[in-house]
Every structure is written in structure tokens, then in C-alpha cells.
Chains A and B, each alone.
Chain A
Amino acid sequence: MSTLDERIRSLEESAPLPSANLKRPFRWAVLLGCVTFPLIWAGGLVTSTDAGMAVPDWPNTYGYNMFSYPFESWFFGPWDLFIEHGHRLLGSTAGLVAIMLVISTFRNSKNACLRWMSVFALLLVILQGLLGGVRVLAADRILAMVHGCVGPAFFAFSAAFATVLYQNSRSVSAVSQPTRRTKLQTLTICLTAGSFLQLVLGANMRHIEESASFHWFRLLVLLHVLFATVVLLLTVVIFIIRRANGKQLESIRGTSFLVTLFVIAQYVLGVGTWITKYHWPFGSDQFGVFAGLLTLDKSIVQTSIVTGHVAMGSLILMTSTVMMMQMFSWQITNQPNKDKMIETPTNRDMQVSSLGVQA
């Protein structure tokens, strides 16, 4: 262990870029996230209302260029056409914002990593658009599923990028780092992985092939429930650790609270989704509450709960990704040769010293 002096010196060396200018790309990244979320809702609606194939061609809409498709036939057309075409328009908006993000990042930073991240976001949004398009042309369920998984992944990525930009647009001392990180970091990584796995499992159930075997579907259901429980436990454990450590884990205070809230809500929504779609699974005769329950297909209640469950899934993925990112420091050094992101474990010492506590 080095002395406090040494560590402070090393800190000075790796002090961040003066980077108030990163606030701009940060804002674009946040905007991108804000556009992506309703996009995921709309995407969820496309599936819950089976609107996916309401427009058979792509990138055109019934032969029109997407942007010149007559407003009246879209806005006042059949509901599934409205949803599907609206989804396409929203998607294009996200693409435009992603382009702005790239431009803004390139203008405000010379850092290769940041630049690559912004380009990656743009590529992802393009890939997602193509996937959606090919899914329509090939009327393919597997593609629909991948499309459904890349969407939230993209959402999470833009939030992660925003976190990186945020950290770099502030001075180090503003980012308080946890004192003992390793275990908690692993937990947050597991949580992010777990919530993504849940999304994949969910998409598999949602887009289940009609000819798939019932054993396979049941396996998916059991896994989905199992990992739901794992994710719930993880969030609760993280929440408890964070509370117990008070100030030192201040940076994830908000995200850990939110993610716990979301996961609990998600659990309830999941049960609701099952019941409004498939009724009570153990027979209703011995469970009086459900005896008279009639599921009304595509009712407002059913559609909102199911879409809510889907959207909440990506919200959880996004929040847990941000929390995971917050558990690390993504400061960029200003040393010319090391113009790349490094993890700076020394931050915690900064805090310790600023608190005036001897290590």
C-alpha cells in the first residue's frame, strides 16, 4: 500500500480533462434514451396487438416513402397500421438523434473511446432498423425476437454512454466512489446480465413459434420465473448493502432505489401478464378467486399490463446498467499517450482524504 501522499500525486497525474464541453453530447445521449423508451413501448404494442405485419413492405409503407405516407391514412387508419407506421417514424427519429450524438461527440472530444462509443450507438440503431425491416420482409419470428432484444440493449447502451459522458463532464471529486467495491461490482454486473437474460427469455416466450413444443415453452416459463426471483434477490441485496454503507455508496443511491422499485413492480406485472393472458395455471375450481375470471383477449387491461411488463423490462435493464457503470469510474486521463479510459480505483482514497480519515 502506498502512502497517502503518493496516491494524491498519482491522482493529480490522472486528473480528468477539463470537460464542461462534454455536457452537450451528454444531453444528446440523454435525449436518445428519452426517444428510445417510447420507441420500446410502441414496439411492445406492435407485438401485443399483432400489428407487426400490418405494413407488408419496408422501408416503404404501402409503396410510399416512409416519410411521405399520407398523414390521414396513417393517423386515421386501422389501429395496427397506426402503431406500426408510428413505430417506424419514431425509429427514424431515434436514428436522427443518434447522428446528432455522433456529431456532437466528435466536436467536443478528441477521445477515441468516446468517439467509438457514439459511433457504436449509431451503428446499433441502424442495425436495429434493418432488423426491424428485414423482420417485416421475411415475416420472421426469430428476427422479431432479436429485434425485440436489441432494442432494450440499445436503450441500455445509450444510458451507459450517457453515464460515461456524465462522469467525464464533472470533476473527480463530484463522483464519490464506493470504498469496497469488488463484491458489489460483481453483484451489479450479475444484475445487469440477469435482467438482460430475462428480456431474452421473455422475448422467446412472447414470440413463441405456434408449432413449438409445449415442453419447451414450459421450460422457458420456469426459467423466466427462476431468474425473476434471482434478479429480485440481487436488487434487494444490493439495496441493503447500499443502505448499510451510507455515504460511501451515495453515487448509486438513486439507481439502486429505482431498480429495486422497478423489479418489485415488474414481478407484479409479470404475474398480471400471465393471469390476463393465460388465466390461473393450477385450475380455478379449487381457487375460488379465479373461478369466475374470464380473460378478455386484447382488452385494455391485458394490453397495458403486457406492454407495461415489456417496457419495464427494458427500464430495469437500463437502470441496472447505469448502476453498474456508476460502480466503476470511467474517467479519461489527460496524458497524451494514455488518451483512453481507465478505471481509477484511487478515487476512493480521494474521498477518504477529503473526509480527513486516516487510511
Chain B
Amino acid sequence: MMTCGWEVKFAVRRRKRSSAIMKKQIQIANIVVGLFILTIFLGCADKPSFQFNAVSKKEAENGTPFSAEQSQDVANILTALFGTPDDPAMPNVNSFHWYLQYDEGYAEDFATLVDFENLKRSAGPVSSDENGDSRGLYREHCAHCHGISGGGDGPTALTLNPYPRDFRHGVYKFKSTSGKARPTDDDLMHIINEGIPGTSMPSFKVAINDNEKKALVDYVKYLSLRGEIERLLWTMTSELETGERLPLVFADGYDKLSEEEKDNLMGWFEEEGAKVESLFKSWLKAKTSPNVKQPPTAPESFDPKHPEHSTLIAQGREIFHGKAGDCKSCHGFTGYGDGELNNYDVWNQWAKGKSDDYIAEFVNDGALPPRTIAPRNFRNGVFRGGRDPNTLYRRIKEGIQGAQMPNAATLTDDQIWSLVAYVRNIKSEPITGGQSHLPVNDKPIN
């Protein structure tokens, strides 16, 4: 008989197995069918609804959970103000006119913060009509990463690094405005257009047209504002006595309130309104009169062909490593981004210095497992927010919000320009001169 190694083994076992084989096959078939059904049914999720910000709620609770009514109140207020993912509302545009009384001057402008039509186009389920006009833009393009509530916790989030942006803090990294100021519409538009290289934030240049992008800019702002007010409401709830509730309780939206309830609501906002108002105002300011400073012109030696260019770089190098700039403490001696590895960004700040048990509880309640922030590795020569000189100048001058990179308040214009020249050059700088590096990078130093 012609056999080979495999054959022999089969021949020996064959008879024993032949009766069992049918059973085996049935078993396999069962497992497959079972898994199929399992995946289908486990995969089912509820109709999208806004979820609580698990982290800020839990932080506000600080160990003693809020009562069901207290949580329900927050949900009701948010629904009354902002509607649902399928049916958005914008307080000042639609039903919410306490501002008319609170602050005459702003009332008109608030209506321009976002275009209500844009919200409606972005919200809801995905569909499109015969002219190719799409609806449900946010769910079509963004929600699987950024999440229905804009918490940066969409289904893909855990498998991405860095995590998608949590819009609910109103904090953005790559923007043109100073300090904590909100980004302008153009900044958000720029992100949607160009994406963020080196991260999973895609460029939507070809995927969607300009009107759709504008609609999404407004929706991002809407989610941000909603998220910020939610965080504020949790803080307010945490200041209540036990059993006490926020002084407005309504379930069906502002329009359905009785006059008395409306008065109550108004009164409450008049007390607490300043806080809410400041959130509105900061977004409005970024839209109408943003604090965007034009960088001063670069020194002549910034031009790589200029004979003094290497002096400028050397100056930048000194500042980078010296006391004045102290960039190395985060970005590392060699620029590998390995200087400070145990810091948390704004979105993960809640985990800083906490025990594993504490963190596990948050994760149980729906928080993404916290990650430390990675300072940029300049050896790749990639700048996620853009590498043109003006953008980099701004980035260094203003720092990076959320990422904990401080602003360069004490440095002069020229010093900052030299840093811009230097960080752009690190990529091609040989690693010499007895620089040490930290354990994370295993690249040898010459």
C-alpha cells in the first residue's frame, strides 16, 4: 500500500474514529450555528441614547452614589436642553429663552452659536435622499470612534491609540486660540479636513462635502457644550444635601412646563446661570471674536539657507535642554518623547495616583481604561497638529491643552522661534554627546 507519514497515522486511527466522526461533525455544526446565533444576539444594542459621563458622575459622587431621582433629574434637564441623539435641541435656539431675561445682550448671538439645521442633519440615523444629501452624518462618520455622546468611547475606542477625543470637556489639542479658549470653527474644520496624522483620526477631505463638514463642526460643538453642562450638573448635584434635588424637575421638555415650573427653572438658572452662561460665552467667543494671536515674523536665520541657521538651532537646543524651556523633562534628552511617561492627560486625570481598585470601579462603570500621555517623539519628524512654522510657533507658545504640555510664557519670541527650528531639526540630529536616554527606548546612543 502506498502510504506516507500522515497516511500511516490516519490508517491506524481511522477505524476507531469512523463511528465517532458523524457525531463530531454534528458537534462542529452545532458549535458553528451556536456561535452564529450568539454573535448576532449579543451584538444587539439598544437604540442609541445619550449616556451619562460615567467618570464625572462617579467623581462627583465621591463614594456616595447619587439617588435614582437625582440622576434622573440630570438626565431630564439635559434632555430638555439638548434633546436626544435622534431629535436634537439647542436651548437658546428652540425652547430655552431664559437668556432673554438673564442677559439681553447675548440673547441674539446665542442663536448663532450653531445652526439648528446643521444639528438636525448631523443627528439621527444614517440615510440619504435622491440628491445625495445625507443625514445622520455624525453616526455615519464619527460615532463609532467618538461615541454617541461624544465621550470618545465609541465601540472602536479601546482598540485605538490614542483614544478618540472626548468632546465633553470642551478641551481640544490642535487649535489656534490661546490658552484654555475654545477652538474656532475653522480649527475644527481643519481637523475634520486634515485629520491627525499618526493617530486614527482620519482626514475626511474626500469622504464628505464642505456643507456636511460644517454641519459636523456644529454637532461637535453641540456635543461639547452638552457634555460640559452635564459635568457642571454633576458638580451641582454633588453640592446638594442628601436627598435634596436640583430645583427643577420636569420630564417632557421645556415647552411642556407649566408657567410656575418655568419660573422655577428661570430662578434656578439665575442663581447658577453664571456658570452655565460662561460655557455658552466661551464657545460664542471662539466663534465671533476668537483670541487668535498672529505669530510674529520669524527671524531671518529661520530660513535653512541662512548662514546663521545652525546658530539658531543650537540656541534652540540649549533652551530645549536648559532651565528656560525645560522641554527635555517631557520630550527626553534625545527627543524620543521618553522624558515623562507617567503623566495623565486631562481626560484621564481622574486616574492619577489612584489605586487599581479605584480605577477598576470606574472602568466597570463604563470609563475607558486610563492611559498615560505620551509626549511627542521628535525623532519621527511628525507633528500631528501641523509642521508649518506658524502652527508650531503657536503650539509651543500656547502649549497643548489637555495634553498637559505647558505654555512657554517666559520665553521670548526669538527663543520660541529657535525652538521651532530645533524641534523640526531633531529628526536629523545625531544622537551624541553623552546624552542618556530612558528605559523605554532601546535605541543605542553613539
Question: Which residues of A are in contact with B by a Cβ distance under 8 Å?
Answer: 50-54, 56, 62, 73, 77-81, 139, 142, 145-146, 149, 179-180, 182-186, 189-190, 193, 196-197, 200-201, 204, 208-218, 220-221, 241, 244-245, 248, 278-286, 288, 290-299, 357, 359
Contacts and interface: CB of A to CB of B under 8 A. Distances in A.
Contact of A209 (B1, B11, B45, B140): B45
Contacts of B245: none
Contact of A214 (B155, B205, B379): B155
A183 to B, nearest CB: 5
B198 A179 contact: no
Contacts of B159: 214, 217-218, 221, 278, 281
Contacts of A299: 206
B43 A209 contact: yes
B40 A146 contact: yes
Interface string B122-162: 00011111111010000111011001100001111111111
A293 B130 contact: no
Contacts of B162: 283
A182 B21 contact: yes
A81 B153 contact: no
A297 B127 contact: no
Interface of B: 1-2, 4-7, 10-11, 13-14, 17-18, 21, 24-25, 28-29, 31-32, 35-36, 39-40, 42-49, 51, 125-132, 134, 139-141, 143-144, 147-148, 153-162, 194-207, 337, 366, 368, 374, 376-377, 379-382, 440-441
B43 A145 contact: yes
Nearest to A193: B32
A296 B204 CA distance: 6
A208 B203 contact: no
Contact of B376 (A217, A285, A294): A285
Nearest to B195: A294
A245 B244 CA distance: 80
Given A291-B380, A294-B202, A357-B1, 7 more contacts: A53-B127, A54-B132, A142-B44, A210-B148, A210-B154, A294-B195, A295-B195
B29 A193 contact: yes
Q: A-B pairs with the 10 shortest C-beta distances?
A: A78-B132, A291-B380, A279-B200, A210-B143, A217-B155, A209-B45, A298-B207, A214-B158, A297-B202, A294-B197
A204 B43 contact: yes
B140 A50 contact: yes
Main secondary structure of the interface of B (DSSP, over half): loop
A80 B209 CA distance: 14
A62 B132 CA distance: 13
A51 B28 CA distance: 36
Contacts of A81: 130, 132
A201 B39 CA distance: 7
A297 B208 CA distance: 9
Given A215-B158, A292-B380, A297 B206 contact: yes
Nearest to B135: A53
16 contacts: A79-B132, A142-B43, A145-B40, A149-B36, A183-B10, A183-B14, A189-B28, A212-B43, A214-B159, A217-B159, A244-B5, A279-B160, A281-B161, A286-B440, A291-B381, A296-B206
B161 A282 contact: yes
A214 B43 contact: no
A210 B203 contact: no
Given A209-B155, A278-B156, A204 B39 contact: yes
Given A292-B197, A359-B1, A285 B14 contact: no
A248 B10 CA distance: 14
Contacts of A241: 6
Nearest to B24: A186
A190 B28 contact: yes
Contacts of B32: 193, 196-197
Contacts of B45: 209, 211-213
A199 to B, nearest CB: 10
Query: Which of A285, A286, A290 is packed against the most chain B CB atoms within 10 Å?
Result: A285
Contacts of A212: 43, 45, 155
Contacts of B379: 288
Given A50-B126, A209-B155, A290-B198, A216 B42 contact: yes
A50 B141 CA distance: 9
